[in-house]
A and B are shown apart, each in its own frame.
Chain A
Amino acid sequence: MDQPMVGKAIVQDKTYFLQMREHPWLSIGSFMFILLLWEGVSRMAWIPSLFLPAPSSILSEGWTMIKTGILFKHIFSSLSRILWGFIIACSLGIIAGILIGSFSIPEAVGNPIIAATFPIPKIAILPLLILWLGIGEASKVAVIALGVFFPMVINVYTGVKNVDPLLIKAALSLGSNRARIIRKVIFPSILPMIFAGMKLGIGIALLLVVAAEMVAADAGIGFMILTAADLMQTNKLMVGLIVLSLLGIFFNWLFKKLEHLVIPWKQ
């Protein structure tokens, strides 16, 4: 006769694998490993250094550029374009988004305009902007502002449309009028969307500043990369790419910190 087996089974947590463990050393280690591999490959001269210079020689090139101050000149040019474009785009984008989201006439007027202009790649507008504003700073700032404006205005508009109607009712019942509801309920509600717009926007701004500087400029990271390529100075070109990576990381970090500071109620 078949006797059923008697035993015991301990219940296991089946969701265990969902708790993704952190491996900080693996992250650092693998990064270092790739750098070392790269260094090794370049030293052995398997790949000509014109195509892929060694990390060490890129670093020393970077160090020279820092000492001569030329690197900061380029960074400063690019940053000031980004900053102006970014500030203009964010302020206009927030104002326009709130207006379009809150009032029916701006919505009726603004929505089709945005729908029609949003799909145009902003870099394609640069020649037109140069025609209008000249080859100087204004056209570059304008193209960055255009690029950052759209994600901002769309994010803010979506945010306004999704404000909890109960909170608006609560504010109305406590005596707020429309203008004060915008300031005291809608604005704080959409802050997370504004930050999301800024994070999207900074990536676009970096892209556009480089592109604009490659079209027409006498300074800036994009200009520096283009001239380095023309002169076959791959080291210098690589320094430009690293600076762009660092700028991106820096802005992301900055916006994260700012968000924590400005939105303390979102643990």
Chain B
Amino acid sequence: MKVLIDHLSKVYADRRGESTEALRDIHFDIRDNEFVVVVGPSGCGKSTLLNIVAGLLSSTSGQVVFEGTQIDSRPHTAVVFQDFALFPWRTVLKNIVYGLEERRIRGQQQQEIARRYITLVGLQGFENKYPHQLSGGMKQRVSIARALANDSLLLLMDEPFSALDAQTRTLMQYELSRIWEETHKSLLYITHNIQEAVFLGDRVVVLSRRPGRILDIIKIDLPRPRGEHLTLEKRYLEYVDAIWGHIKNQAREAMEETGG
């Protein structure tokens, strides 16, 4: 299986006829079991890209193709949103089985799958709590479990940890790294945090400021499992530096343009 993001462009047009070019000619692919991170400055069109891949927004030109998929009932994508997007009227367990209900999976099996992912994300004992009774980090765990349980071909995550405090965020990065190493799902992960991108990804796609274009695609050759020790390693820091170089140039250009 391979997901091809084929020369994607997006121009938003508002009612007054003004248009915003958000993405320009985005072209890369996501292979089986690959963790691809897209990093770029704020407003460069990252969420736009993810929404198009998720089928929640249409592109202006170009397309997203799932190649070599068997024709079966597995959904193409599952999304973890920045703001969790949990159903407030559903308990943790009920949130996680939502996608399974839509796929008409038997109740017994729903429960088994849900319990498996509840254990994977470490939420045992919270099955019957409502979202408003959980902390931000726990809500995002539920959201991740819900997406994983849906067994999609590609997982999509849009800055899933940016609503969390710095400490929780770091812990959740370790956690996600562990979960991914257990599941090896194809994953497209969006962030504006360079360290996070290098820590998590197999490949990092660096976008320019708006309109988002691909500046570079960097293969991250760091061993797995990745843990806290990694952040002190020389090669890790070199990758971070390389990406920071790109982004710094972008920021400088932006400042010169506005005369600031």
**Interface residues of A, Cβ cutoff 8 Å to B:** 166-167, 169-176, 180, 184-185, 188-189, 191, 263-265, 267
Contact = CB atoms under 8 A, between A and B. Distances in A.
B253 to A, nearest CB: 33
Contact of A174 (B88, B89, B102, B130): B102
Looking at chain B, what size class is its interface with the partner chain?
Answer: 20 to 34
Contact of A175 (B56, B89, B99): B99
Nearest to A188: B89
Contact of A265 (B78, B81, B130): B130
A174 B98 contact: yes
A258 B207 CA distance: 52
B28 interface: no
B85 interface: yes
Contacts of A267: 132
B33 interface: no
A41 B88 CA distance: 55
A265 B102 contact: no
What is the interface of chain B mostly: helix, strand, loop, or mixed?
Answer: loop
Nearest to B86: A170
A167 B86 CA distance: 7
A201 to B, nearest CB: 23
A259 to B, nearest CB: 13
A180 B89 contact: no
A180 B99 CA distance: 12
B81 A174 contact: no
Contacts of A264: 130
Closest 5 CB pairs of A and B: A175-B102, A174-B99, A170-B85, A188-B89, A173-B79
17 contacts: A166-B85, A167-B87, A169-B81, A170-B81, A170-B87, A171-B87, A173-B55, A173-B77, A174-B75, A174-B98, A174-B99, A174-B102, A175-B75, A175-B150, A189-B89, A265-B89, A267-B132
B83 interface: yes
